[in-house]
């Protein structure tokens, strides 16, 4: 059990949805809902005031939409944002992740999965289904080769860390990377942490995007 509860802010313009989410999350003693917001602008204000660990963010809202609000929240705080929406739309997914969201969930997600998601993101993991990861990779792989310019931050990585980043950018899990590179899974986890720290990235999703935008990785065979 965590030493302190995970502090969560609920953001949705539907009061009934907020009430339902609070009921679900309040059933777990490791999570506490510290506040609510009915639109993106108020969400940014609440984050400044409450400093939650995790923000559950709807996409379609008045005043400021969830993607724009995510961008502002990531810029002003260490709060991690999980998009929770009814719409599994590529533009929403990619827009949210590029804005700095650490995860993307559909509102039909089960209560158990929602709670697990909150804990995973609070622990520093990114939260994406394999299908969503595949969409991100496909979108980045579609960039014309001429748009990618090698990023100087790559120089900070060791050859092995570059290998791990390339595998990560293909959508492989830690276990799959370990198998591919013939190293222990615990070693992969250590490499991933160092990669994120050196490149100043928040999570694995941003690492995937960075690998393509930096020119380290270019389109290749799809991973099932």
- Between 203 and 144, the higher pLDDT residue: 203
The predicted pLDDT at position 218 comes to 65
Residue 224 confidence (pLDDT): 42
Q: Specify the higher pLDDT residue, 60 or 217.
A: 60
209 or 158: whose pLDDT is higher?
158
Please report which confidence band the pLDDT of residue 222 belongs to, taking 50, 70 and 90 as the band edges. very low
Mean pLDDT of the chain: 84
What ranges do the domains of the chain cover? 6-127, 144-213
Q: How confident is the model at residue 113 (pLDDT cuts 50, 70, 90)?
A: confident
> Residue 214: what pLDDT?
80
What does the pLDDT look like over 170-196, one tens digit per residue?
A: 777 788 899 999 999 899 989 998 998
Could you tell me whether strands 31-37 and 103-106 are parallel, antiparallel, or unpaired per DSSP bridges? unpaired
Q: Which residues sit opposite 7 in a β-bridge?
A: 32
Burial annotation 138-147 (CB, 10 A radius, 16+ → b, else e): ebbeeeeeee
Q: Return the CATH number of the domain spanning residue range 144-213.
A: 1.10.10.10
3-state DSSP assignment of residue 37: strand
User: Bigger pLDDT: 217 or 154?
Assistant: 154
pLDDT at residue 1, as a whole number:
47
- Token pair, residue 201, equals 């990235």
pLDDT at 142 over 70: no
**Residue 123 confidence (pLDDT):** 81
- Return the axis-axis angle of helices 185-199 and 159-169, rounded to nearest 10°: 100
Supply the pLDDT for residue 220.
52
Q: Tell me: pLDDT of 85 over 50.
A: yes
Mean pLDDT of 19-44: 95
Task: Enter the pTM of the model.
Answer: 0.71
Domain 6-127 CATH superfamily: Response regulator (3.40.50.2300)
**In 2-56, where does DSSP find H-type helix?**
15-25, 40-50
pLDDT tens-digit readout, 40-80: 999 999 999 999 999 999 998 888 999 999 999 999 999 99
The two beta strands, 80-85 and 31-37, are unpaired
């Amino acid at each position: 059990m965590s030493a302190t509860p995970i502090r969560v802010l609920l953001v949705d313009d539907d009061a009934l949805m907020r009430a339902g989410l609070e009921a679900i999350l309040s059933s777990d003693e490791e999570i506490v809902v510290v506040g609510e917001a009915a639109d993106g602008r108020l969400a940014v204000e609440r984050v400044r005031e409450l400093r939650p660990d995790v923000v559950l963010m709807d996409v379609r809202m008045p005043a400021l939409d969830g993607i724009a609000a995510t961008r502002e929240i990531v810029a002003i705080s260490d709060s991690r944002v999980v998009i929770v929406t009814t719409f599994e739309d590529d533009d929403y997914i990619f827009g949210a992740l590029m804005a700095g969201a650490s995860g993307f969930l559909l509102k039909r997600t089960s209560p158990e999965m929602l709670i697990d998601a909150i804990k995973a993101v609070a622990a520093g993991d990114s939260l994406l289904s394999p299908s969503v990861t595949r969409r991100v990779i496909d979108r980045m792989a579609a960039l014309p080769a001429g748009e990618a310019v090698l990023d100087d931050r790559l120089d900070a990585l060791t050859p092995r860390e570059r290998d791990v980043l390339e595998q990560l950018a293909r959508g492989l899990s830690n276990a799959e990377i370990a198998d591919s590179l013939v190293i222990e899974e615990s070693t992969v986890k250590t490499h991933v942490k160092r990669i994120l720290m050196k490149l100043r990235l928040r999570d694995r999703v941003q690492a995937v995007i960075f690998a393509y935008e930096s020119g380290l990785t270019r389109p290749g065979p799809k991973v099932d």
